[in-house]
Amino acid sequence: MGTATVAPQHANAAPPGQPGLSKKQVVAVGIGNFMEWFDFAIYGYFAAIIGNIYFPSDAAGVSLLSSLAVFAVGFVSRPFGALILGPIGDRFGRKTVLMITVFGMGVFTTLIGLLPGYGTIGILAPILLVVLRFLQGMMVGGEWSAAGIFLVESAPSNRRASAASVVTFTAGVAFLMGTATAAAINANLTEAQVYSWGWRVPFVLSIVMTFIAVFIRRKLNDTPVYHELQEKKANNTLKPVARKDKLNAFVLSFAFSALFLVSLYYFITYANNHLVSVLGMSKTSALWLCSASLVVYCILHPLVGRFSDHYGRRKLALFAAAGLTVMAYPIFVMMNSGKPALILLGLTIMAFLVAISAVMNVVLLVEVFPASIRSTGAALGHNVSSALLAGPGPFIAAALIQYTGNPNVPAWYLAGVSLVCFLILYTRLPETKNVNLSAG
């Protein structure tokens, strides 16, 4: 069993009139979270085109590598977003962060869609793209943990993983819609039209979803746990968090976030580019295969949430880590077979394991941190792992193939990260299903 300390069992506190998670809260957070991740996902789906427009090169693979490097910039900036937005969530409330992130993400994504290419404004084009991706990544750095904290803190104590699955489910649907949108654009427009203006359409239209999400989120009340936290501060009854508990929570959050994020971006972003760039599959065929596996991925989230609410977190988190360690190489072998049925099987196995790690990531981000540092700690632990391990993942995968010529070699990076995460979780992660979210 892990060495972390958990608080006594306690049902989530709630002020009068707020007995649990309402449909309005679910819809408000879900719609905004969908928009955030749709915006972030579409960059990955059009990475090859963006690379050619903003980083033109005659050398094979260089434009794609440059575009994936800029994709990683969106992860490098996440800890900066966490440093700014995390403390805002602890001091001014979870709702405040949700308002900032959804508005900022929409604006920066729209600006990417309007940004002229290298052929029009020269070196300024890739510079501005990097800046916008950096700012976009900062918004995502606050959204994931803030959305999870808001829903899980508002949920009844026996439904917290189910509440967490709303965040992961809506993100999955966003990726699915992003994939379907990319597939529809590639299927209905000529290659020249996609290159000229088609890829820009979903970026620019995100501003519409932004205004809808802001309008809905502004009517939210903050969480019962945050209200209780404010009362403790006012009454000077809030106990300080020990340094060793902060460190242990950060290490744990780094591990289960790395497990989720590295596997997610292999599944969501890299797999599609791998099928096209390495196997030579048509963009449309690759996108439809990815869409099919994403349907499975989305369906699994509420099921994982219910299962975890009944059986706990620790065993599921360890199962996902062990599964990704063992199955990473076989999944790539199936993908590189070139046979659609085997490719779909490999992607479906990955979808199953990533879905488990996704729900565990959100609920554990809330349950391992004390209430007073939860917004800051969860955002930092999650986003530091994003910047160091997950963001560079697709770039590392492409670079490994470029260097070795072996299409299966990216599996070793996924397997290696998953193994280290398994060892950390096995030695440190306790069962947190009944932890008191108001403690600390």
Q: Is residue 17 part of a domain?
A: no
Q: Predicted confidence band at 122 (pLDDT cuts at 50, 70, 90)? A: confident
Question: How is 362-426 classified by DSSP, letter by letter?
Answer: HHHHHHSS-GGGHHHHHHHHHHHHIIIIITTHHHHHHHHHHHH--TTTHHHHHHHHHHHHHHHHH
> Dihedral, CA atoms, 313, 221, 109, 257, nearest 10 degrees?
-20
Distance (Å, whole) CA 172 – CA 306: 17
* CATH code, domain with 210: 1.20.1250.20
- At residue 71, the pLDDT reads 67
Distance (Å, whole) CA 199 – CA 192: 11
Whole domain around residue 274: which residue ranges?
A: 23-428
Mean pLDDT of 111-135: 90
Task: Give per-residue burial for 163-193: e unless 16+ CB within 10 Å, then b.
Answer: bbbbbbbbbbbbbbbbbbbbbebbeebeeee
Q: Predicted confidence band at 89 (pLDDT cuts at 50, 70, 90)? A: very high
- At residue 98, the pLDDT reads 92
- At residue 64, the pLDDT reads 62
Q: Is residue 6 part of a domain?
A: no
Q: What is the pLDDT of residues 28-56, one digit of tens each?
A: 889 888 887 887 778 777 877 887 888 87
Q: Does the pLDDT value for residue 269 go beyond 80?
A: no
Q: Predicted confidence band at 268 (pLDDT cuts at 50, 70, 90)? A: confident
Mean pLDDT of 9-21: 48
Mean pLDDT of 277-298: 88
Q: Predicted confidence band at 58 (pLDDT cuts at 50, 70, 90)? A: low
Helix, strand, or coil here: 22? coil
Q: Does the pLDDT value for residue 5 go beyond 50?
A: no
Q: What is the pLDDT of residues 220-252, one digit of tens each?
A: 889 999 999 889 888 888 888 889 999 999 999
Q: Does the pLDDT value for residue 182 go beyond 60?
A: yes
Q: What is the pLDDT of residues 297-351, one digit of tens each?
A: 999 999 999 999 999 999 999 999 999 999 999 999 999 999 999 999 999 999 9
Q: What is the DSSP letter of 159?
A: G
Q: Does the pLDDT value for residue 6 go beyond 50?
A: no
State the average pLDDT for the chain.
87
Distance (Å, whole) CA 147 – CA 222: 12
Is the sign of the CA dihedral 43, 46, 47, 51 positive or negative? negative
- At residue 18, the pLDDT reads 43
- CA distances for 7 relative to 157, 319, 368, 371, 376, angstroms: 13, 24, 10, 11, 19
Q: Does the pLDDT value for residue 61 go beyond 70?
A: no
Distance (Å, whole) CA 101 – CA 108: 11
Q: Predicted confidence band at 395 (pLDDT cuts at 50, 70, 90)? A: confident
Q: How many domains does the chain have?
A: 1
- At residue 324, the pLDDT reads 98
Amino acid identity of residue 267, one-letter, is F
- At residue 28, the pLDDT reads 87
Q: Is residue 16 part of a domain?
A: no
Q: Is residue 215 part of a domain?
A: yes
Mean pLDDT of 271-275: 86
Question: Which of 3-7, 38-42, 68-72, 143-147 reaches the highest mean pLDDT?
Answer: 143-147
Q: Is residue 120 part of a domain?
A: yes
Is the sign of the CA dihedral 344, 349, 352, 355 positive or negative? negative
CB-count exposure of residue 343 (10 Å: 0-12, 13-18, 19+) = buried
Q: Predicted confidence band at 424 (pLDDT cuts at 50, 70, 90)? A: very high
Question: Which of 115-119, 326-330, 379-383, 387-391 reaches the highest mean pLDDT?
Answer: 326-330
Q: Is residue 15 part of a domain?
A: no
Q: Which residue has tokens 């789906």?
A: 45
Q: Is residue 5 part of a domain?
A: no
- At residue 142, the pLDDT reads 87
Q: Is residue 388 part of a domain?
A: yes
Decide: 220 and 102 in contact? Cβ < 8 Å: no
What percent of the chain is predicted at pLDDT more than 90? 50
